[in-house]
Chain A
Amino acid sequence: MNRAADIDDDAVVRSQSPQMTPSAPTPYRRTLLYLAQRLGEIPNTRLHKVVYLIDLEYHRRYGRTLTGAPWVRHNYGPMTKALLPALDEMAGHELVQRVKTTRSDRTLKLVAPGPAPRYQPDLGPAEREVVDFILSVTERLTDPQVLDLAYSTTPMRAVLRREATLGRKLIDAPLEFDADPVLPGPDEVDPPGHAAFKRAEAQALGGARARLLASFVE
């Protein structure tokens, strides 16, 4: 993507958040700050996915996202272009960024709480409940597991199904938080061994079913 396109994308993000002046504590930035304060140092990519899961959960509960950021499908799953400008604006104040080289010579961008915050997260009770809920879901997961979790959500799966139909990746496709769940198509068949697996499952549950039915007859 060229620089002009970057500027256009930033303009779109700003136009959707009228309060977004350079140091304004928008919901997006307050959420980032809260996460950094709760988690300490966190890889940039993991932060992205956690914020996405928060936005999706908040949207499912209240009909709108918490941060107001537009989400798109990118190479490594959900991504919002609001993150990089926000990190830049918060750098040295609310957040700090550093780059670490892993043992396998990969570059890892990390985000941590900054030394001189100009504001506090001040999340409302409902916002905090959702953020804490997603943190409880993801806290014991590895980074790849958090990525898997993001990929298994309805908006991502809707895009992945379209990609399977078209035969190509839909990079930058908007993620629709109102998308219908992806359900099996009419031609979809069960994998080999599926019937035997289901028979064994039904047999294993037979005892529990009989006990339940007996307890209601008594």
Chain B
Amino acid sequence: MPPAASPAPVRDERWLVVVSSKRDCRDVACPTVVVLILSAKVEHAGRHDELIRAGDGGVQRDSIAQTDLVLFWPKDELLDDRCKGDLMLDTLIRVRARLANTLGIAEPKATGS
């Protein structure tokens, strides 16, 4: 008899990608940033998911940035050693363009700043 499927492990950490503008990231008067949730389940990538390859941004495995799972996050919790790296600018532009597409905005060129 095959073993019963075990419940999915509870994880208390997830990879995020910050998509806020540089200005908002630096502005001390702005306490939060907009973040997307990453997943390594690239086989489930759909219309709202942008591929981030291993290495890029310090990501250890190929992942998807889920532009339909958007949250705000307090900057206080994203400082110090939690930062794993920067995305290549081309990747960030792709992620922002995908987010704009998810939001129904048809001007992907306006997403690189």
A interface with B by C-beta (< 8 Å): 53, 56-57, 60-61, 133-134, 136-138, 140-141, 145-146, 148-149, 152-154, 180-181, 183-184, 188-191, 193-194, 197-198, 200-202, 204-205, 208-209, 212, 215
Please indicate the chain A residues that have their CB under 8 angstroms from the CB of B45 in the complex.
Answer: 191
**Residues of B within 8 Å of A, CB-based: how many?**
40
Q: Is the interface of B mostly helix, strand, loop or mixed?
A: mixed
Q: Is the interface of A mostly helix, strand, loop or mixed?
A: helix
B89-A201 in contact (CB<8A): no
Please indicate the chain B residues that have their CB under 8 angstroms from the CB of A215 in the complex.
Answer: 74
A180-B108 in contact (CB<8A): yes
Please indicate the chain A residues that have their CB under 8 angstroms from the CB of B91 in the complex.
Answer: 152-153
A181-B97 in contact (CB<8A): yes
Q: List, sorted by A's number, 24 A–B pairs whose CB atoms are closer than 8 Å.
A: A53-B88, A57-B89, A60-B89, A134-B88, A136-B85, A137-B56, A138-B55, A145-B55, A148-B54, A148-B62, A149-B53, A149-B55, A152-B51, A154-B90, A181-B108, A183-B98, A189-B47, A190-B46, A191-B43, A198-B69, A201-B37, A204-B11, A205-B71, A208-B71
Count CB-based A-B contacts (< 8 Å): 97
Closest to A147 in B: B53
A212-B72 in contact (CB<8A): yes
The complex places the Cα of A152 from the Cα of B53 at a distance, in Å, of 8
Query: In chain B, residues 46-69, which have Cβ atoms closer than 8 Å to a Cβ of chain A?
Result: 46-47, 51, 53-57, 62, 66, 68-69
